[in-house]
Structure 1
Amino acid sequence: MIRFYKTPWLLKKLLPGYTWEREGGGKTLYLTFDDGPIPEVTPWVLEQLEKYGAKATFFCVGDNVRKHPEVAQQVLDRGHQLANHTYHHLKGWETPLQAYVENAQLCQQELEQLPVQGRKKLFRPPYGRITKAQAASLRDSYELIMWDVLTNDYDNSLAPEKCLRKSIQATQDGSIILFHDSLKAQRNMRFALPRYLEHFNSRGYAFKTL
């Protein structure tokens, strides 16, 4: 099975209307976490980030925000960023346009129940799968965020050491890195994240929100 850790440059070229990476400008990385917030995993992630003075962006499933608003608030209280990952973690290629857009709007409404000001509106499609029509409908309201480095932490057939090693190798200044604060990913993520943070922190990199 072929796994991509680094997003192929050709894919970025073919899909220019998405943010795949940020302008680096000097040892800056952008950690992102998909599919939370959940009490079993997200608070642990926050602890690891705090150890290294790292900030991150959390692409939240709206239904998880509804069920665990106190965990979402912890993310904000620690100085991190919340963003939209649909309400029900929908597969864009299998969901009609109107239903998909309404589901994203429902997630945004859930996020905006939390007391925070000045939040950028960012959206990441679950699985990275979104139709042209869905993207066009959302682009007026959101910056559409993809990723430059996929850790593959959700793949439990993958050794945690390989997850870490390949993710480090794929990272460069300005990379947007995708982890998951989910039960499925936690085995690999709990191994890789602190070591990933240590590796780049010791080399003078800063981790910022998008």
Structure 2
Amino acid sequence: MYLVKTPFWLRLIYPSLVWRKLNDLNKIYITFDDGPIPIVTDFVINTLKMYEAPATFFCIGDNIRKHPEVFQRLKEAGHRIGNHTFNHLKGWDTDDDVYLDNIRDCAALVRSDLLRPPYGRIRKSQIGRLKEAFPNMQIIMWDVLSGDFDQQLSPEKCLENVIKHTRPGAIIVFHDSLKAFDRLEYVLPRALKIWKDKGYVFEKL
């Protein structure tokens, strides 16, 4: 079970995390989790280029290790890179020391002050430890979850999810993963066109 739109009470529970970036300039922030991988990340890079849309990619360290050429292309395209741990660890199920070490392993490759916890699952103790170890690190969550990872979700419903809930300042999550690709391939170009027609401005975090 997941919520497409982040409820206000969750933002109140975790006020130190970044859920959205409110503004009056129609700016929105498109993000991608779980890459980089061949084919899917390449498709995303090419599609974003068509719409002149910069984005932020939260990369898994082990995928960077496996696919350095895709990661290099991502950087050369000018997108911002964030940390998504080295092995896509769920914070709630992981010892704090192990979790921090896994983030450090990824940080050695991505060198970013942005982190998105996989699954959005992170303990308050881990947040505190992160702030000590990485004082400038911003923990980025989201305002709109596309649901593209849900293989029971139709591409049309996935598109409806993101269009219906996007407002200025929204941080929107997609996944450049094989599991999400059937929906992502349909949704991303259509969503970019609709957002652009509505006057939204795309920015990196």
Distance 1:53 1:176, change over 3 A: same
Within 5 Å, give how 1:144-155 maps onto structure 2: 144-155=139-150
81-90 or 4-13: bigger deviation: 4-13
Structure 2 gaps, min length 5 = none
Please name the residue that 1:18 is paired with. 17
Within 5 Å, give how 1:122-141 maps onto structure 2: 122-139=114-131, 140-141=135-136
* 2:163 aligned with 1:168: yes
**Residue type at the aligned position of 1:61:** I
User: Displacement of 1:157 after TM fit?
Assistant: 0.4
DSSP-derived class of the 2:172 partner: strand
User: Displacement of 1:3 after TM fit?
Assistant: 4.2
DSSP-derived class of the 2:38 partner: coil
- Counterpart CA distance in 2 for 1:16 and 1:68 is 35
76-85 or 134-143: bigger deviation: 134-143
TM-score, normalised to structure 2, is 0.96
- Counterpart CA distance in 1 for 2:23 and 2:38 is 32
User: Displacement of 1:203 after TM fit?
Assistant: 1.6
User: Displacement of 1:5 after TM fit?
Assistant: 1.1
User: Displacement of 1:12 after TM fit?
Assistant: 0.8
* 2:176 aligned with 1:177: no
**Residue type at the aligned position of 2:70:** V
User: Displacement of 1:15 after TM fit?
Assistant: 1.1
Please name the residue that 2:107 is paired with. 108
User: Displacement of 1:141 after TM fit?
Assistant: 4.0
TM-score, normalised to structure 1, is 0.93
- Counterpart CA distance in 2 for 1:206 and 1:136 is 33
CA RMSD of aligned residues (A): 1.0
* 2:189 aligned with 1:189: no
* 2:153 aligned with 1:158: yes
* 2:59 aligned with 1:60: yes
The 4+ residue runs of structure 1 with deviation greater than 3 A are none
Structure 1 gaps, min length 5 = 113-119
Please name the residue that 1:115 is paired with. none
Q: Give the number of equivalent residue pairs.
A: 202
- Counterpart CA distance in 1 for 2:65 and 2:158 is 31
User: Displacement of 1:205 after TM fit?
Assistant: 1.1
DSSP-derived class of the 1:177 partner: strand
* Cα deviation code 1:69-128 (max 9, x no counterpart): 11111111111011100000001011101100000000010224xxxxxxx510000000
